[in-house]
Amino acid sequence: MKVLIAPNAFKGTIEADEAADIIRDALLEAQPNAAAKLSPIADGGDGTCYLLAKELDLPQRTLFSLDPLGRPVKGFYNIDSREQVAFLDVSTVSGIKYLNSYQKNPWITSTYGTGELIVSAIESGAKHVVLGLGGSATVDIGLGILRALGYLFLDENGRGIPVFSDGLIKKISHIQAPIRKPDVRFTCLCDVNNFFFGEMGAVPVFGPQKGLKQSEIPEFEKACEKVYSLVIKKSGIPIPDREGFGAAGGIALGLSAFFPTVIEMGAQWFFEKTGMESKIKNADLIITGEGQYDRQSAGGKGSFELLQLAKKHGKKIVLITSGEGGKDAGFDDVIQLPNLNIDDIKFKEKAKVNLFEAVKQAFSNSKLI
């Protein structure tokens, strides 16, 4: 039996490509005659462009950049020189993974480091930058990226405000554009379709996850509204709020004001670029998974989109996840992972053991294979 192993990342514990290896090893121990093909997936979340570039076998370029708080960190991007396209994830240097809980603070954190990677990619010949927006530590409307690209943000006295300044977003009174802006366009890959403003917008929904206190939400939203009006004024074009602007703290909103920018739902875009539908046609069984399958999953997450393709072609599909959310979603079987104690210093190692054992046990007795 031909088995396509296509997990998403198990967020916070196991990356998608490592999860695929573990699932294969467990499956073959339980069913030695299975023919396994690995194709880890992403949906615009953390690591999307890394996986895509790996699938497309694109060369990687590394350089030191700055993390969300301005500390040096090694970053990278992949580039297709022939097509003049660079692929990079915001999480590579601007990710929340770099911050301890007490360091999370959207008043300070910035996407400037991601902007440095983009500048390097442009200098390397890129005319098109594909950005995976998942896993960011910021709600800065892309101001950090814009600063790296030459835009200046001035206070009420016309003085430049340094990046990583506490409260930068509420100090801005003027925006100064570079004399010559870079010749580049962007494709932003999302795994959420939230607007930037509103009850389900970036600030109330994702702000607290990134360190914003509930009591600070009204003040932060007011500061964002002021910056939004300044961005529109400087760009000279109307920029109505839209789905996807809420991803990664409004990066696509800021970029849209000054550069040609397209927003794509990451799973569908990723599947098209990697030929996922063809892989599903050639498989007898698909195994996917993610850390927590819940109501947000049906909004464009990778496992849900894979389920739609599997059903389209009459293929059986198994989900690996924790929690109860996947049981009524339409999968042919759900392999349940035990809950983790994240206070255990070795919880990531335990997650890998749990994944292996759960898959091995499930396929030792499964009627699907």
d(CA 40, CA 302): 10
Q: Please list the residues that pair with 322 across neighbouring strands.
A: 292
189: pLDDT strictly greater than 70:
yes
C-alpha torsion 123→127→133→138, nearest 10:
50
CA 252 to chain centre: 13
**Mean local confidence (pLDDT), 144-157:** 97
Confidence of residue 263 (pLDDT cuts 50, 70, 90): very high
191: pLDDT strictly greater than 70:
yes
Comparing C-alpha atoms, which of 146, 175, 325 is closest to residue 236?
Answer: 175
Torsion sign across C-alpha atoms 41, 46, 52, 58? negative
pLDDT of residue 11: 78
Helix/strand/coil for 362: helix
d(CA 157, CA 178): 19
8 Å CB contact between 359 and 27: yes
pLDDT of residue 45: 82
Residues in the chain: 369
155-164's contacts with Cβ under 8 Å and 24+ in sequence apart are 163/70, 163/110, 163/112, 164/69, 164/70, 164/108, 164/109, 164/110, 164/112
Confidence of residue 220 (pLDDT cuts 50, 70, 90): very high
Confidence of residue 37 (pLDDT cuts 50, 70, 90): very high
According to DSSP, residue 86 is labeled: E
β-pairing verdict for 85-89 and 72-80: antiparallel
**Mean local confidence (pLDDT), 141-159:** 97
Please give the full DSSP string across 20-56, using - where no structure is assigned: HHHHHHHHHHH-TT-EEEE----SSSTTHHHHHHHHH
**Mean local confidence (pLDDT), 6-10:** 91
pLDDT of residue 249: 95
pLDDT of residue 89: 96
Predicted TM-score (pTM) of this structure: 0.90
d(CA 321, CA 12): 13
d(CA 321, CA 338): 9
13: pLDDT strictly greater than 90:
no
Which range (77-86, 158-167, 301-310, 338-347) has the least confidence? 338-347
8 Å CB contact between 161 and 171: yes
Helix (H) or strand (E) holding 269: helix 266-274
C-alpha torsion 194→272→16→335, nearest 10:
90
pLDDT of residue 78: 97
Q: Select the more confidently predicted residue: 327 or 215.
A: 215
d(CA 295, CA 323): 12
Q: Convert the pLDDT of each residue in 72-120 to its tens digit.
A: 999 999 999 999 999 999 999 999 999 998 999 999 999 999 999 999 9
Q: Convert the pLDDT of each residue in 279-330 to its tens digit.
A: 999 999 999 998 877 666 666 678 888 999 999 999 999 999 987 777 778 8
